[in-house]
Amino acid sequence: MTQLQLFEAAHNRNGTAIVDATGEHGYTELLDASARVAAQLLGDKDDLAEARVAFLVSPGFEYAATQWGIWRAGGVAVPLGLNHPPPELAYALDDADVAAVFVEAQLQERIAEIAAQRALPVYSTVEVAATPSTPRSLPDLDSNRRAMILYTSGSTGRPKGVVTTHAQIQAQIDALVEAWEWSADDRILHVLPLHHIHGVINVLGCALRVGAVCQFIGDFEARQVWRCLASRELTLFMAVPTIYAKLIAAFNEATREEQAAWSAGARQLRLMVSGSAALPVPTLETWEQITGQRLLERYGMTEIGMGLSNPLRGERRPGHVGEPLPNVEIRRANDRGESVDDDTPGEIEVRGPNVFLEYWRRDDETRSAFRDDGWFRTGDVAVVDEGSYRILGRNSVDIIKTGGYKVSALEIEDVLRTHPLIDDCAVVGVPDDEWGERVAVCVVGNSVDLNLDDLRDWAKQRLASYKAPTLLQVCDELPRNAMGKVQKPTVRERFTSK
């Protein structure tokens, strides 16, 4: 199904598409608003012909209308991060070489000067909303056209623009619709950023694809989220581990009456999903105790959408991310591109209609990301345990090479989080002349009673001795990006900058 067919499908939906602070908005209203956006962008042109259009719009109806409008005009949508500082906004505008900017009225000051410096036209969502709806022809959309550029988190360098076509976006959505049995009867609460794959595809894209309801509540506030979960109106909820941790903390501070109501309401949902970062087993277990919901973990990234998922129906194993999604090919390979046995760590490689087209204007990096036979190299290392993938970490970030051993930072973190004095932690490899890398850990916890010798003794009772940390720092909080992922390079700098 092409994106044009997606819009055509919306014509057959009579129900509510978006609920936000401004009220309920139907699919007919979404089509009308997106057509006005498209007309404003086109002006006297017949087709934007893949011109990039950046947009800075809060999650909600205006976001969806703007995204669809850019697509319907034949443009490439470039969503910007709401909380990004001016240099990052400027970087995206320059790197994507955008032709125009769409901005929410309340956010115009954030982007006006940056756009003016580049002589970029700026369109206001308020102005478009006030424009009378005048029917006009919109360009035909070939499914192989470029549709969107999402920027990677930048955890290993300057962000790269990941380009996907309409067909690739549709493949990413359809795989999840099939695997998680989305339907028009679903209603999902959206609490994620909308410049990352998780919020754009997994939540908003899937909901609009099937004619479901996508509900927004503005800025995240744990008690408000709990009230929504307890409303018995929702069927789906998706979040990152840090959000689940915040919800657990709010639950622990609530009254017994609130806890009872929240638990009972949350039990009614048919599916809750966790992703974008590793889910600590204690968080999974606590959430299940509170809500009766065993979180479904999955694996994906900006370049592929989602690739692996625990089953909707069946056993969801802690620390595992399941099996390949429909129409997604996945293998694990060594450095030579040869498939490896299940119990041998290998890099996850992906091939299929869901895989991105290119890194924007980075031909060399695009070529190096793929093998000659079309397999995309994710950089993530995994083993397969009874058919289910278990992520060990990234080649460059979470795989530590110390004393001839390959060590998973995620494995060590999972164990250290069970220590009574550790609330959270991040493990990194620090360069060392003797060992290659030393295992270093930055912990959030009780700095008074925690010392390295005791921690090593404790860890060596639970891990091989070469996995026990040899460097320790205590911090108030771990550095994270907008999706809750720990910024490992920043953690490493705390050990190397001294």
Radius of gyration over every alpha carbon of the chain, rounded to an integer in angstroms? 23
Task: For 367-393, write each residue's pLDDT tens digit.
Answer: 999 999 999 999 999 999 999 999 998
Range of 439's domain? 399-496
Amino acid of residue 200 = V
Per-residue model confidence (pLDDT) at position 7: 74
Facing residues of 92 across strands? none
3-class DSSP state of 495: helix
- What CATH number corresponds to the domain at position 430? 3.30.300.30
Long-range pairs for 419-428 at CB < 8 Å and ≥24 separation?
419/445, 419/455, 419/458, 421/445, 421/446, 421/449, 421/450, 422/450, 424/478, 425/478, 426/478, 426/486, 426/488, 426/491, 427/400, 427/469, 428/397, 428/400, 428/488, 428/491, 428/492, 428/495
**What pLDDT was estimated at residue 403?**
78
Per the structure, how many domains does the chain have?
1
Residue 153 pLDDT: 56
Whether 270 is in a domain gets the answer no
Residue 322 domain flag: no
Q: What pLDDT, on the 0 to 100 scale, is given for residue 1?
A: 38
- Residue-wise pLDDT for 287-322, tens only, equals 999 999 999 999 999 999 999 999 999 999 998 999
465 within some domain: yes
CA distance linking residue 350 with residue 335, whole number of Å: 15
In a domain, 166, yes or no: no
Residues 402-433 have pLDDT tens digits of 877 778 898 899 889 999 999 999 999 998 87
* Residue at 473 is within a domain: yes
CB 286 within 8 A of CB 318: no
Q: Which residues in the chain show pLDDT less than 70?
A: 1-6, 9, 11-12, 153-157, 447, 498
Q: Considering the domain boundaries, does residue 431 fall inside one?
A: yes
pLDDT of residue 85: 83
Handedness of CA 192, 23, 262, 232 (dihedral sign): negative
Q: Is residue 419 part of a domain?
A: yes
Residue 464 within any structural domain of the chain: yes
